[in-house]
Amino acid sequence: MEFRIIGTFAVVSIMVGKLVIKYAGEEAAGVDSDTSGMPTAIEVATIVSFMTGIYLLVFYVFRLGVVSTLLSDVLVSGFTTGCAIHVFTSQLKDVLGLSLPQIPGYFDVVLTFYELINRISHVNWMACSISAVAIIVLLINNELIKPRLAKITIVPIPIELIAVVSGTLVSTHWNLGKDWNVKTIA
């Protein structure tokens, strides 16, 4: 018996986020009076997710997955590397605790690194410490604990969930958002 935990793919999340920024209107927090005629961020994300599901269903019905065999290994490798660079770049500002402006258009990865270098003196060391601890815990789990537990049990430890819950409890208990200026989801 094998467990497959499928979550959101980071690149898809980035693409949906860019669509939300582009097409969603400004929302007043807690107010249900949208007079702009623009869809809300949740509506845009829901529509994009629904249409993605429809496309995937159509691809499945017509067995279009076979088209992927035409893609060369070099193309897939390049795409995967590009995705990794975009995901790494999108997460780096949060790891360093920096606020950067939205950078639309071409060369956004290069411009993001330029902005990061310009603001490196404003790094939030508490956010860096939290990120480092989380990364180290995840690495220790994946490299040391998970292989040993796989020999004993088939049920994996949900270390990602444990990290999120622990981070939430620590952040709430020590007021990291207010006292240390660590960005939290409200």
How confident is the model over 108-162, as pLDDT tens digits?
999 999 999 999 999 999 999 999 999 999 999 999 999 999 999 988 889 999 9
* Residue 68 in this model has a pLDDT that exceeds 90: no
Which tokens in the block code for residue 60?
């499945």
Do you know the residue count of the chain? Answer: 186
Q: Using the structure block, give the residue that is written with the tokens 């020999």.
A: 151
Question: Looking at residue 144, what is its pLDDT?
Answer: 95
Per-residue pLDDT band at 56 (split at 50, 70, 90): confident
Residue 162: both structure tokens together: 């444990």
| Position 3 pLDDT exceeds 70 | no
For residue 109, the number of C-alpha atoms closer than 13 Å in the C-beta half-sphere is 9
Is the model's pTM score more than 0.85? no
For the ranges 16-20, 55-59, 125-129, the maximum mean pLDDT occurs at 125-129
Three-state DSSP string of 41-81: HHHHHHHHHHHHHHHHHHHHHCCHHHHHHHCCHHHHHHHHH
* Residues with Cβ within 8 Å of residue 134, at least 6 apart in sequence: 163, 167
CA pair distance 185, 110, nearest whole angstrom: 27
Q: Across all residues in the chain, what is the average pLDDT?
A: 87
